[in-house]
Structure 1
């Protein structure tokens, strides 16, 4: 019985280098980050001076740089003074999509706002921002 255990152990040790190469390790992530699938034309926009009491539309555009269609899953403005619209269909590889922010310029003075975007199938959100000054 002792000889059988030693023989089995030697067989396992003899074949372990062979099996170590059966499943190669691929150093790529399964979940792609937003930065890898979408190239944004601009991630920060300075809108300059905005007249008080007027709506300002800010448009962020992106290009699908992946080999698969992508889709925006969620868009969340940072405050109630901003609403958002976005491409609600799949964006094919090489094609463009958009996220639009509509800012209500009610309060006078400088401002800085952001919008957080999450692509379907991605756990990494992308934050876009815009800033400016509301003048009378």
Structure 2
């Protein structure tokens, strides 16, 4: 029983030391968005496509790569910088909402962004009010 306890304690100490050395000073890539929500305000059903741009900065010390950006709905399409963003540099994520065939009114959609950063997932939101086209 003592051997098992001693081995467990040594394993925990070894893992703790290894993790501390790995984290020592280097924090990796880190994404920081200028804003995480964009409100399109009111727009007409006769012009149902609206677009915004989310700007982000790599505040880490390693190249930042966006692995995936997925919208909660097919009516919302994200486009993003595919190339690695170096530390201190900026990138853009463009989001287009297409309300064609959708009911007028308020909407709120999310875009899930996955990166190689310290925080692997960030959620962005777009919202607005599509008004019925005047006859």
| 1:49 aligned partner | 42
Q: What is the CA deviation profile of residues 21-76 of structure 1, one whole-angstrom value per residue up to 9, with x for unaligned ones?
A: xx8573959xx79xx70110000111101221431012111000001111100010
How many pairs are equivalent?
113
Shift of 1:122: 5.8
What are the equivalent positions in structure 2 for 1:18-29 lying under 5 Å apart?
24=17, 26=20, 28=23
Structure 1 ranges of 4+ moved more than 2 A: 23-29, 120-124
| 2:8 aligned partner | none
Give the TM-score normalised by structure 2.
Answer: 0.72
SS of the aligned residue for 1:26 comes to helix
What are the equivalent positions in structure 2 for 1:30-109 lying under 5 Å apart?
37-54=30-47, 55-106=49-100, 107-109=103-105
CA-based RMSD = 2.9
Unaligned runs of at least 5 residues, structure 2: 1-12
Cα contact 2:71–2:112 (8 A) shared by 1: yes
Greater CA radius of gyration, 1 or 2? 1
Cα contact 1:53–1:105 (8 A) shared by 2: no
Cα contact 1:51–1:105 (8 A) shared by 2: no
Give the TM-score normalised by structure 1.
Answer: 0.71
